[in-house]
Amino acid sequence: MKHYQKALRVQTTGKSLHKITNKIERIVAESSIETGLCTIFVRHTSASLVIQENADPDVLEDLANFFAKLVPEDSMAYIHNAEGPDDMPAHIRSALTHTSEQIPIADSRLVLGIWQGIYLWEHRQRSHQREIVVHISGS
């Protein structure tokens, strides 16, 4: 079994979903692995990864609106607010989603559904540079 690993840095623009599918696909192609598994992991506690609808941007907006209602930014509701009112809500949103995803690889390509895209979800108001570790294993 062969392994390939690379770190990907993504500059976010504040609270939003950033499509990273193409960047992950390029790393898979670099790996020369034809059949295997791609694991992606975000190295932060206030951002997450989701595989979601890639055709209709309304889906992403609805997700963001739902999470804003589910986990409000109310500094009076949380003990931890060292970095501002969006700090603890960002940690909760990250805990409710994923910090890693696994996607099969076949014929040197990610086996995603036609409407699936990979997104880095920035949960903080300010922009941040986020690091994602991409680990590919297979043959």
pLDDT tens, N- to C-terminus, the chain (139 residues):
999 999 999 999 999 999 999 999 999 999 999 999 999 999 999 999 999 999 999 999 999 999 999 999 987 889 998 888 999 999 999 999 999 999 999 999 999 999 999 999 999 999 999 999 999 999 9
pTM value? 0.95
CATH class of 2-138: mainly beta
Domain ranges of the chain: 2-138
Sole residue written with tokens 């501002």: 84
Copy the structure tokens of residue 96: 């409710």
The secondary element (H helix, E strand) that includes residue 60 is helix 57-70
25-38 pLDDT per residue, tens: 999 999 999 999 99
Q: How many residues does the chain have?
A: 139
